[in-house]
Amino acid sequence: MPAMAEVSSDIAVRLRSLEFAWPGRTEFSLSVPDFSIPRGEKLFLLGASGSGKSTLLSLICGITVPNKGTVEVDGTALSNLSGPERDRFRADHIGVIFQMFNLLPYATPLENILLPLSFAGERRRRLEDPKAEALRLTGALGLETELISSARAAELSIGQQQRVAAARALIGAPALIVADEPTSALDAGSQSAFLDLLMDQAEAAGATLLMVSHDERLAARFDRVEDLSRIAVAERRLRA
Amino acid sequence: MLLRLAWQSLLSRRLTVGLTVFAVALSVALFLGVEKVRTGAKDSFADTISDTDLIIGARSGGVQLLLYSVFRVGNATNNVTWESYQDIAAQPEIDWIVPISLGDSHRGFRVMGTSTEFFDRYKYRGGRNLTLVQGEHFEDLFDAAVGAEVAEQLGYEIGQEIIVAHGLASFTEHDDKPFRVAGILARTGTPVDRTVFVSLEAIEAIHIDWKNGARIPGQTVSADEVRGMELTPGAVTAAMIGVKSRLQIFGLQRWINEYPEEPLLAIIPGVALQELWDIIGVAERALIGVSAMVVATALLGMAAMIFSGLNERRREMAILRAVGARPWIIIALLTTEAALMALAGVLIGMALLYSGMGIARPYIDSAFGIYLPPEPPTLRELTVMAVVVVAGGLISLAPAWRAYRMSLTDGMMVRI
């Protein structure tokens, strides 16, 4: 762990007096007074669509920066970093799983899993044999080896794609896993199976898991459940 | 990593990418083909006559003299008297001199009176000799040797009788003194192919009973009678000269140009050819311009193709951003893809061009007299290729910049 992270090693994510507005025709603003996720916690963030969850995740991932306030991830204030530094920070510390279409369709699943390592020096250094680790992860997530290395990502079923995406988020043990409705494209049976696998692997890697979903039924197995509308105020109005 | 991603991304869109690459390939093949034909034509043109040091004729323009004496285009304004010709021929610098007498035609082809020495002295394409496919040059007074094109178009064979017409487009013929095809020359790709050669004496013989472009009434001399007569010409149209030492060319040229007895002009064929090419060069440059526009169009098409694909690739960009790719990676990816497409286009274009040239070379040589040497790409061609690839990369900066902007505003919100 880098020295910076040890300063507040018990906090994975912390947002303070954050204010953000998207520029554009529809003025959308989001403010978060104070919100934090302890290290290692599995947090379920309940949010309907339009509640600003994508914006929140963009802020946590350092893709967008707040107009006011601070975002700290793994003890590092993202607003103190330059754009490229934030990109490298994200690559090294955060694994992201989207709702669907997580993969570059033309690359093999294995190449997709190894993709973040091209940008993340720290995660790359933690691995002796990235390919073996990728196969170990996919094995643990219940995917066959041949499927991973030979097929193209586009040929996989959605369930398989999501598991490949999970492996990509987990590889090299980033501190934080951010999952944006990762199960909404799956059927009910697959949903819980996927969540089990994801949680097991996040726990094994010692990662903090932040999952956003509108589906309350999935909340049961998380350490903590928060409603986005309670921690953040989202406003959407047409600009005059 | 980037290169492999770009490559895989292109492969996954084989059809559109393939068509775009093909368009670039065709345009490159066209451009370089024009370039090849242009240099080939220029070289063939410059090779029309070689090893001749001076061409002399009546005073006119250098290009005009070259046109009528070598290319059989246009007419001489005046002749060189036989006395002057003899005088010049007697100069000590002169190694050889071949007379050229023009003015008559045969079914659209020019008839040229000369000596048999012409066939030894006329060289083309860097010293190649004229050769006969069949027969002899001319033995008899009324023998004619015809160029390859003449023989082919008119279907002439050895021994066939031909009639020479008086002038270039007239209906009066020297039908009382027919010629016999004695020899057929091999194809050269020069104006020789389109010429009927007869002896200088024969030109004199067919005009012996003519004056001022018409027969002298009541004075007919038959073909047999003329054989016994004195057939020294009164004048020639032009003459080709070889000097003993190249150092003497300019001195002799000046001497002829200042010849006191008669206004004459001596030109150095290479210089006059260059002058003539400079005139034709405008068309040549226009051709290059047009084919360069075709290349530009193909590259623009490629940029349009990248633009149109951007929306469906927003997700791809978002994924790359999410795993930590910096925004410039997006630009680099698109630019690399474009450069790869341009590179593939250039390589396929070259392959098309060279295989096409390999197949068409003999045909182009024989049909147009343009010799395209089977050479590896010249430095200039390689430069063109590099420029196309770089231009492909540069032109893709526009869509790449747009993708960059999109990836900034999209952030992690992956819109479809």
pLDDT in tens, B34-56: 888 888 877 777 788 888 999 99
Share of chain B above pLDDT 90, in %: 30
User: Residue ranges per domain, chain B?
Assistant: 2-45+280-410, 54-267
Higher pLDDT, A8 or B355: B355
Q: Which of A37, A80, A27, A85 is nearest to A57 (CA)?
A: A37
pLDDT at position A6 is: 44
B contacts of A119 (beta carbons < 8 Å): 323-326, 329
Most confident of A33-37, B30-34, B346-350: B346-350
Count A/B contacts: CB-CB distance under 8 Å.
78
Question: Model confidence at B256, in pLDDT bands (50, 70, 90)?
Answer: very high
> Which residue among A106, A119, A120 sits closest to B8, beta carbon to beta carbon?
A106
Higher pLDDT, B213 or A228: A228
DSSP A38: E
Neighbours of B211 (CB within 10 A): 11
Average pLDDT over residues B214-232: 77
- The ranges of chain A with pLDDT < 70 are 1-9, 23-26, 237-240
Average pLDDT over residues B192-215: 85
Q: Which of B395, B400, B391, B392 is nearest to B328 (CA)?
A: B400
Q: Give the integer Cα–Cα distance in Å for B238 and B273.
A: 16
DSSP B370: -
Where do we find the tokens 């021929």?
A: B89
Higher pLDDT, B290 or B214: B290
Share of chain A above pLDDT 70, in %: 92
Token pair of B163 as six digits: 């009639």
pLDDT at position B170 is: 66
CA atoms within 13 A on the CB side of B316: 22
A contacts of B411 (beta carbons < 8 Å): 54, 58, 63-64
pLDDT at position B14 is: 86
**B321–A84 CB contact, under 8 Å:** no
pLDDT at position A123 is: 85
We find that the CATH architecture of domain A3-238 is 3-Layer(aba) Sandwich (3.40)
Distance from CA of A154 to the nearest CA of B (A): 10
Instruction: Indicate which of B316, B337, B412 best probes the interface with A, i.e. most A CBs within 10 Å of its own CB.
Output: B412
Three-state secondary structure call for residue B14: helix
Q: Tell me, what's the ipTM?
A: 0.82
**A54–B411 CB contact, under 8 Å:** yes
pLDDT at position A119 is: 85
Residue of B nearest to A53 (CA): B413
Question: Model confidence at B57, in pLDDT bands (50, 70, 90)?
Answer: very high
Maximum pairwise Cα distance, chain A = 57
pLDDT at position B363 is: 81
**B412–A92 CB contact, under 8 Å:** no
Average pLDDT over residues B80-93: 92
Radius of gyration of chain B (CA): 31
The H or E element spanning position B314 is: helix B314-322
Q: Give the integer Cα–Cα distance in Å for B116 and B103.
A: 19
pLDDT at position A4 is: 44
Q: Is the pLDDT of residue B414 over 70?
A: no
Q: Give the integer Cα–Cα distance in Å for B320 and B332.
A: 12
User: What is the β-pairing status of strands B214-215 and B210-211?
Assistant: antiparallel
**A92–B315 CB contact, under 8 Å:** no
B contacts of A107 (beta carbons < 8 Å): 5, 8
Three-state secondary structure call for residue A12: strand
**A101–B11 CB contact, under 8 Å:** no
Q: Give the integer Cα–Cα distance in Å for A105 and B9.
A: 8
The number of residues making up chain A comes to 240
pLDDT at position A3 is: 41
Q: Is the pLDDT of residue B234 over 50?
A: yes
> Which residue among B5, B327, B414 sits closest to A107, beta carbon to beta carbon?
B5
Three-state secondary structure call for residue A28: strand
pLDDT at position B35 is: 83
Q: Residue A228, class by beta-carbon neighbours within 10 Å (0-12 exposed, 13-18 middle, 19+ buried)?
A: buried
